[in-house]
């Protein structure tokens, strides 16, 4: 009766966060009045009762070994007040209840290699995915590309010199788990899947794979006497949607899986309604371990935005003002026919007006 000895799970769900809240957070819950930023990387919140709390934000590598986490805990115990939280972009925040603890905490974090910043009008840590480390369908790595890019952008993380905040993301396939961002770096496959016909019948539920294709390019076929699938390569848009349900339809190609760069995604409702990002560059090689060609394009876009956008303009607001022709001119990126939308609903992305900037 092996099963009788199995431990039954306690279906406790989301843990109560109250035991983990910094005492000032618990005491002033729902009663904060305003905040300011005494310096990059530090938030200072003041409550209606006059209570104050300082939060110091530092970058992490997200995929952390236990020694790194214990080091962060040591810093929190010795230089802060043993309460931390993580942001959606994998930054860690240390809370302290007096201003004089801020500088020693920052010094200790920097001394141990955790850059302090990521607040306000900075380039914050890149939201990213798993990549070769753990994903079953990755076209590239995530942690490595992020490390390489953050090495180059660390000054922009530590300062608040951008026109508005800049959110970056990377994704290892077109599913885009990294999500919408001001600048997103996403694998773009350029060749149809290579099919191992010996395996399809045993591994893939063929009707489900046929149904997964956005352009109906996949059909059942008998190949070498075995039931398999074939792809109409003229129809195929190389999206890779067939690969997760059918791993023998290999979409990743060391040579032909390229990077595309997208800009102008914004989830906030501030000013304009939320926007989706738009593809502005492609054909960038997948070049580990440091992906220099990707970093070059991202830095090109950031430099143009930093130089030209007005204060409080997110990347999407900036392009809205200057227009796409000037965006391509200022960034030096080529505008090709592949950047003109022809997917469903594409006509809303055409210029149905005589609004032209000269």
**Contacts of another protein in 202-261 (CB under 8 A):** 208, 211-212, 214, 239, 241, 247, 252, 254, 257
The site string for another protein over 271-300 (x = CB under 8 A, - otherwise) reads xx-x-x---------x-xxx----------
Report the distance separating Cα 233 and Cα 102, nearest Å. 59
- By the 8 A CB rule, do 239 and 174 touch? yes
The CA distance from 340 to 73, in Å, is: 50
Question: Which residues from 147-186 bind another protein, rule CB under 8 A?
Answer: 147-148, 150-151, 154, 174-180
CA distance 324 to 182: 15
Q: Select 343 or 358, whichever has its Cβ closest to another protein.
A: 343
- Looking at beta carbons only, is 225 or 289 nearer to another protein? 289
Q: Which of residues 301-330 bind another protein (CB under 8 A)?
A: 310-312
Q: Which of 79, 114, 318, 327 binds another protein (CB under 8 A)?
A: 114
HEC readout, 209-237: HHHHCCCCCEEEEEECCEEEEEECCCCCC
Spatial distance between the Cα atoms of 91 and 93, rounded to a whole number of angstroms: 7
* Residue 332: CB minimum distance to another protein, A: 26
Q: Which is nearer to another protein, 155 or 232 (CB)?
A: 155
Half-sphere exposure of 261 (CA within 13 A, CB side): 24
- Contact between 143 and 133 (Cβ < 8 Å): yes
For CA atoms 344, 242, 183, 185, give the dihedral sign: negative
Which residue lies nearer to another protein by CB, 288 or 334? 288
Residues 56-95 that bind another protein (CB under 8 A): 59-70, 72-73, 76-77, 82-88, 90, 92
Region of 32-40, 96-104, 217-225, 350-358 interacting with another protein (CB under 8 A): 32-40
Site for another protein in 129-148 (CB under 8 A): 129-141, 143-144, 147-148
199 binds another protein (CB under 8 A): no
Phi, psi dihedral angles at 259 (to 5 degrees): -105, 145
Instruction: Tell me the CA distances in angstroms from 352 to 262, 306, 347, one per residue in order.
Output: 23, 30, 8
User: Two tokens at 100?
Assistant: 């004089």
Between residue 1 and residue 20, which ones bind another protein under the rule CB under 8 A? Answer: 3, 6-17, 19-20
Q: How far is the CB of 349 from another protein (least distance, A)?
A: 11
**CB closer to another protein, 34 vs 358:** 34
- In whole angstroms, the minimum distance from the beta carbon of 210 to another protein comes to 12
**Cα–Cα separations (whole angstroms), residue 272 to 68, 145, 230, 268:** 40, 31, 44, 9
């Amino acid at each position: 009766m092996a099963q009788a000895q199995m431990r039954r799970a306690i279906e406790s769900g989301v843990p109560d966060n109250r035991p983990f809240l910094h005492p000032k957070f618990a005491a002033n819950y729902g009663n904060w009045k305003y905040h300011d930023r005494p310096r990059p990387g530090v938030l200072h919140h003041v409550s209606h009762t006059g209570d104050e709390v300082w939060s110091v934000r530092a970058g992490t590598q997200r995929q952390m070994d236990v020694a790194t986490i214990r080091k962060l805990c040591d810093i929190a115990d010795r230089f802060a007040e043993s309460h931390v939280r993580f942001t959606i972009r994998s930054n860690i925040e240390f809370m302290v209840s007096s201003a004089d603890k801020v500088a020693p905490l920052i010094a200790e974090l920097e001394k141990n290699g955790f850059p302090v910043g990521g607040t306000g009008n900075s380039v914050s840590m890149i939201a990213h995915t798993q990549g070769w480390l753990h994903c079953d369908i990755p076209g590239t790595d995530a942690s490595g590309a992020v490390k390489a890019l953050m090495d180059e952008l660390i000054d922009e993380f530590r300062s608040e010199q951008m026109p508005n905040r800049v959110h970056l993301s990377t994704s290892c396939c077109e599913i885009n788990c990294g999500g919408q961002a001001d600048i997103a770096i996403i694998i773009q496959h350029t060749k149809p899947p290579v099919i191992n016909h010996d395996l399809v019948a045993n591994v893939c539920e063929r009707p489900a794979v046929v149904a997964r294709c956005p352009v109906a390019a996949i059909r059942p076929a008998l190949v070498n006497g075995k039931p398999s699938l074939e792809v109409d390569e003229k129809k195929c848009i190389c999206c890779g949607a067939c690969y997760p349900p059918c791993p023998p339809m290999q979409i990743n190609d060391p040579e032909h899986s390229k990077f595309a760069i997208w800009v102008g995604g914004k989830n906030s409702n501030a000013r304009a309604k939320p926007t989706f990002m738009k593809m502005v560059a492609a054909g960038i090689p997948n070049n580990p371990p440091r992906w220099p060609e990707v970093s070059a394009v991202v830095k090109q876009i950031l430099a143009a935005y930093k130089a030209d956008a007005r204060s409080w303009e997110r990347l999407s607001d900036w392009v809205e003002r200057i227009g796409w022709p000037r965006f391509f001119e200022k960034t030096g990126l080529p505008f090709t026919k592949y950047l003109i939308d022809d997917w469903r609903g594409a006509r809303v992305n055409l210029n149905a007006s005589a609004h032209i900037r000269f």
